[in-house]
């Protein structure tokens, strides 16, 4: 059984995909997920944080992504774009979540919803963002693993 936070991320990817593609109002998407789809055992507060936090910090998130992606953000597959934005949000604004957890969760989401090799792209980009935004944590993790 998946963890409540993992389930929240899974729903957030679907919700942000919907927001990106259909341009539906965030509050309507939230209502649909909470009332119609239901979140099961998902951590509702974390789902809400991602759903509203990513769009609220979109300029900062996309600027961080822009340093490492090989194309315009709008040219990235919408599923991978949603996953990358969630991962970047967590790496930038949730230092309480270990960077390895963020990257691993996003790889899992990209494998579940993205294109065949999309998870490799997501992994590479988020690894670079982790090095840029959490260099101390990454260095400490590398030193510990030696």
Residue 44 is part of a domain; what is its CATH number?
1.10.940.10
Model confidence at 144, in pLDDT bands (50, 70, 90)? confident
Torsion of CA 62, 118, 86, 18, to 10 degrees: 90
Q: What is the pLDDT of residue 1?
A: 40
Domain that includes residue 41, residue range: 4-145
Task: Kindly state the average pLDDT of the residues 101-121.
Answer: 93
Per cent of the chain over pLDDT 90 is: 71
Q: pLDDT at residue 94 above 70?
A: yes
Mean model confidence pLDDT for the chain: 91
Angle among Cα 94, 50, 96 to the nearest 5 degrees reads 15
3-class secondary-structure state, position 69? coil
Please give the tally of structural domains in the chain: 1
Q: pLDDT at residue 6 above 50?
A: yes
Q: How many residues does the chain have?
A: 146
56-86: pLDDT as tens digits: 999 999 999 999 999 999 999 999 999 999 9
The residues near 89 (Cβ < 8 Å, ≥ 6 apart) are 50, 53, 54, 57, 61
Q: pLDDT at residue 137 above 60?
A: yes
Model confidence at 2, in pLDDT bands (50, 70, 90)? low
CB 81 within 8 A of CB 109: no
Torsion of CA 109, 114, 116, 120, to 10 degrees: -60
């Amino acid at each position: 059984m998946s963890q409540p936070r993992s389930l929240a991320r899974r729903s957030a990817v679907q919700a942000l995909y919907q927001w990106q593609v259909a341009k539906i109002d965030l509050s309507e998407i939230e209502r649909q997920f909470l009332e119609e789809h239901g979140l099961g055992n998902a951590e509702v507060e974390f789902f809400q944080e991602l759903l509203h936090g990513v769009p609220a910090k979109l300029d900062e998130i996309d600027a961080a992504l822009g340093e490492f992606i090989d194309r315009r953000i709008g040219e990235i597959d919408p599923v991978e774009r949603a996953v990358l934005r969630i991962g970047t949000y967590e790496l930038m604004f949730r230092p309480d979540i270990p960077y390895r957890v963020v990257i691993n969760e996003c790889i899992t989401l990209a494998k579940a919803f993205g294109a065949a090799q999309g998870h490799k792209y997501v992994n590479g980009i988020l690894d670079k963002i982790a090095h840029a935004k959490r260099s101390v944590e990454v260095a400490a993790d590398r030193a510990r693993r030696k």
